[in-house]
């Protein structure tokens, strides 16, 4: 049996049970392409998998980053709201390093949200009355009425779905933080979807094990997810589970705004001073007050004032039971 998800704690073992023999993968299509990595849809026997490989022009540092991601995924283990590792190829040569994870058939959450937005924006345009002068904000309101409906299908999004996504992601992140692992790149683009609107936290490319790395570590990589970063990460390169909570708040905003880019109309170089003055993103027009108050609490200046992932789980569970 090549797939051994349970054996992630083989620390110190010289025979790595995660290692997949070269040539056992059947590559299908490219799912995604980043700055230095490519994610392939592949078959491992009869199992659909996703494989992350480096591009040919990847630097030594990028290679180290993928190796790091592989080690962290081995350590994290399996959880229903974390994309689980299936195997890897670490041997240098034609294959390694290569990370094999479970395939999430519905793709990433950001694309899903934008599909919903576009479908309904089109429908709205079709039914638009010429007499009605539709301003930007009116449009958002109308859009929300149309989009966030209770019809149950694969490409609908109900208020319950929004709360369910928020709950599932906080459950996954609560598990990750209990393992003392920081994500550091929590965003809708890094959440993957499976059947039944189950969502999973993915992409540990920037993650760090807080036991082996200082929380003050700096990324040497110039590209930072600035719009998702906590104030203390921007000013002092401090990363903790509480800075992941800040990013979770931004992710919540992305969900409610159906895949918009955070801080619309704000230039990246103006962001820091804006945040330091205490400014935060406004409530999206379609956002219920109780969800906005959660995201605002994730953006408190002092990390200790923000909710923990475990209190976020409780908050969304309470909101979900209130709805039913
Ligand atoms: N895109 C990136 N990673 C993926 C995965 N594991 N499953 C499906 N699509 C993906």
> CA nearest 183: which of 153, 149, 212, 206?
206
Predicted pLDDT at 215:
37
Task: Give mean pLDDT, residues 294-321.
Answer: 97
Predicted pLDDT at 268:
92
Task: Give mean pLDDT, residues 158-186.
Answer: 94
> With contact defined as beta carbons under 8 Å apart, do 311 and 242 qualify?
no
Predicted pLDDT at 95:
63
User: Which class for 131: exposed (0-12), middle (13-18), buried (19 or more C-beta within 10 A)?
Assistant: exposed
- Cβ(34) – ligand 1 distance below 6 Å: no
Residues involved in catalysis: 185
Q: Peptide bond preceding 177: is omega within 30 degrees of 0, i.e. cis? A: no
Residue 77 makes CB contacts below 8 A (sequence gap 6+) with 8, 9, 179
Q: How many CB atoms are located within 10 Å of the residue 13 CB? A: 9
Mean pLDDT over each residue of the chain, to the nearest integer: 83
> Among 83-92, 123-132, 197-206, 233-242, whose mean pLDDT is lowest?
123-132
Spacing, Cα 52 to ligand 1 middle (Å): 9
Q: List the structure tokens of 142.
A: 């109308």
pTM, two decimals, is 0.86
Rounded CA gap, 304 and 297, in Å? Answer: 11
To test ligand 1's pocket by mutation, which of 108, 112, 189, 191 has the most ligand atoms within 8 angstroms of CB?
108
- Cβ(103) – ligand 1 distance below 6 Å: yes
Determine which residue's CA is closest to atom 10 belonging to ligand 1.
Answer: 107
Q: List the structure tokens of 146.
A: 């149309």
Spacing, Cα 149 to ligand 1 middle (Å): 27
pLDDT band at 65; cut points 50, 70, 90: confident
Task: Give mean pLDDT, residues 42-59.
Answer: 92
> What are the tens digits of pLDDT across the range 180-202?
999 999 999 999 999 999 999 99
The SS3 call for residue 143 is: helix
Predicted pLDDT at 193:
97
Task: Please give the DSSP secondary-structure letter assigned to residue 196.
Answer: G
Task: Give mean pLDDT, residues 219-231.
Answer: 77
Q: Which residues pair with 201 in a beta bridge?
A: 82, 191
pLDDT band at 41; cut points 50, 70, 90: very high
Length of the chain: 324
Please check the confidence at residue 17 and state whether its pLDDT lies above 90.
no
């Amino acid at each position: 049996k090549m797939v051994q998800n349970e054996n992630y704690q083989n620390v110190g073992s010289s025979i790595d049970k995660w290692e997949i023999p070269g040539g056992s993968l059947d590559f299908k299509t490219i799912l995604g392409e980043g700055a230095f990595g490519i994610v392939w849809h592949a078959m491992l026997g009869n199992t659909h998998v996703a494989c992350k490989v480096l591009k040919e022009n990847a630097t030594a540092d990028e290679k180290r980053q993928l190796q790091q991601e592989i080690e962290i995924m081995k350590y994290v283990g399996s959880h229903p709201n974390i994309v689980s590792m299936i195997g890897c190829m670490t041997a240098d040569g034609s294959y390694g390093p290569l990370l094999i994870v479970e395939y999430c058939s519905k793709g990433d959450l950001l694309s899903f949200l934008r599909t919903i937005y576009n479908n309904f924006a089109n429908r709205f345009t079709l039914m638009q009355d010429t007499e009605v002068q539709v301003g930007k904000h009116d449009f958002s309101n109308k859009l929300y009425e149309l989009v966030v409906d209770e019809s149950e299908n694969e490409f609908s999004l109900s208020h319950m779905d929004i709360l369910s996504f928020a709950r599932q992601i906080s459950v996954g992140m609560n598990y990750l933080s209990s393992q003392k692992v920081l994500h550091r790149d929590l965003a809708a683009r890094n959440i993957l979807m499976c059947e039944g609107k189950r969502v999973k936290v993915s992409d540990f490319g920037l993650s760090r094990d807080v036991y082996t790395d200082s929380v003050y570590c700096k990324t040497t990589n110039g590209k930072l997810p600035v719009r998702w970063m906590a104030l203390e990460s921007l000013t002092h390169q401090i990363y903790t589970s509480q800075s992941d909570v800040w990013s979770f708040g931004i992710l919540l905003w992305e969900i409610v705004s159906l895949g918009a880019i955070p801080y619309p109309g704000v230039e990246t170089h103006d962001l820091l001073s804006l945040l330091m003055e205490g400014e935060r993103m406004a409530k999206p027009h379609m956002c219920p007050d109780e969800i906005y108050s959660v995201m605002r609490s994730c953006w408190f200046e002092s990390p200790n004032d923000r909710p923990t992932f475990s209190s976020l789980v409780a908050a969304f569970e309470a909101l979900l039971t209130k709805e039913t």
